Homo-oligomer: A and B are copies of this chain.
Amino acid sequence: MKAGLIKNKLTEKGLKVTPQRMAILEAITNLKNHPSAENIIDYIRRNHPNISVATVYKVLDVLVDNQLIKRVKTEKDVMRYDAIMESHHHIYCSDSDQIEDFFDDNLNKLLDDYFEKKQIPDFKIEDIKLHIIGKYKKQII
């Protein structure tokens, strides 16, 4: 079913279903913490040792263009990817590479209402993303 679902996502977008595309979509879905291309390659090569770096980058572009994944901006020069297309925000840890998802419908409603009332002149908002930057408190176990 899992494989079937991933296949569906590709066919729904009119994309050819290839083992490489399946593997990459699956990798991004399974890997937590918003993987980089390198993370994805490492993960895939366990079961798919011959996949080419170029293919991974090309497939990532295709998936982004077809709105099956999103790019996640970081301050570093490596791009990271996100399989969750539902609107959500990100929590950035300021002393590690950790990036957590943040879902909050109340907040989204608050923002939508706010920008409904207060338009930005000559600008049509398509999406609003919060970057919540801070630190996880030390876990005292």
**Chain A interface (Cβ within 8 Å of chain B)?**
71, 73-75, 77, 79, 91, 94, 102, 104, 106-107, 110, 114, 118, 120, 122-137, 139
CB pair A133 B127 closer than 8 Å: yes
Given contacts A129-B131, A132-B125, A134-B125, contact A114 B120 (CB under 8 A): no
Contact of A73 (CB < 8 Å), options: B73, B102, B136: B73
Residues of B within 8 A of A106 (CB): 118
Complex Cα distance A139/B123, Å? Answer: 10
CA distance A94 to B129 in the complex (A): 13
Q: In the complex this chain forms, how many copies of it are found?
A: 2
On whether the beta carbons of A75 and B75 are closer than 8 Å, the reply is no
What B residues does A73 contact at CB under 8 A? 73-75, 131
Q: Are A110 and B114 in contact (CB-based, < 8 A)?
A: yes
Distance in Å: Cβ of A70 to nearest Cβ of chain B: 10
Residues of chain B within 8 A (CB-CB) of A136 are: 122-124
Tell me which residues across on chain B come within 8 A of A137, comparing CB atoms.
122-124
